[in-house]
Chains A and B, each alone.
Chain A
Amino acid sequence: SYELTQSPSVSVSPGQTASITCSGDKLGDKYVCWYQQKPGQSPVLVIFQDTKRPSGIPERISGSNSGDTATLTISGTQALDEADYYCQAWDSTTVVFGGGTKLTVL
C-alpha cells in the first residue's frame, strides 16, 4: 500500500520560514493537499492540488510538489500557526494521509 512519510516535528522562530515535507514514491505524479489541525479542533484544508489555497488561507502559506517530495512552506511564521499538519494524497481508490508534523513556534 502507498505510504506518505512526514517528520514528527519541526520548530521555527516567530517571523522565520517553516518547511514541512511529505515524501512518497513518485509523489510528484499525484496531487497533494495539506491540512492544519489545532488541539481539539477538526482539520482545516490549507493547500489543495499541490499549490492552491482555499479562500481565507493567507498567502504566506504555500505548497509545492516534485519528484518524491511535497513541501508546505509557511513564511513569516506566527504563533497562531502552531499546529499539526497532515499531507494527503490519492492512490488508486484510497485516500492516504501522512503521519503528521507538529509545528512548534518557539
Chain B
Amino acid sequence: QVQLVQSGAEVKQPGSSVKVSCEVSGGSFIRYTISWVRQAPGQGLEWMGRITPILGTSEYAQKFQGRVTITADTSTSTVYMDVSSLISEDTAVYYCAREAGSHWFDSWGQGTQVTVSS
C-alpha cells in the first residue's frame, strides 16, 4: 500500500518561494511517477507537473513552466515541489499524487495548505 505524506502548512509573502515535500512509502519509489496538483479555495483541481525518478525527468504544465521545479531525492523517497515568485493567486492546497497505468492517480497525499499573504 503506497502512502504519500506531505509537509505542513506554509504562509509566505508575495514574491517569495515555497518548497513542499512529499515522502513516499511502500513499493518501488524510483519507478513511480509523482505529480503535483493544486486546488485554490472553492475551485477545481489543477495539474502542475510530474517527475519520474528512474528517468530523472520532470514535465510541467505550460502555465507553470519556469516558475515551478519538481525534484526527487531517491535516498529518502521524497519528491519536492518548489514554486517561486509567489502571488496571492497561488494560495491553494497542494497535493502530490502517484500516477498509475494510463495516467490516473491512485494514491494522494493529505494536502499542504500554502497561503500567500503580506
Contact = CB atoms under 8 A, between A and B. Distances in A.
B44 A98 contact: yes
Nearest to A32: B104
B66 interface: no
Contact of B101 (A49, A86, A98): A49
Contacts of A100: 44-45
Interface string A12-48: 0000000000000000000101010100001111001
Contacts of B108: 42-44
The DSSP consensus for interface residues of chain A is: strand
A31 B103 contact: yes
Interface string B13-32: 00000000000000000000
B110 interface: yes
Nearest to A42: B108
Contacts of A95: 35, 37, 47, 50, 61, 103
A56 B97 CA distance: 19
A86 B46 CA distance: 11
Contacts of B109: 42
Interface of A: 1, 31, 33, 35, 37, 42-45, 48-49, 54, 86, 88, 90, 93-100
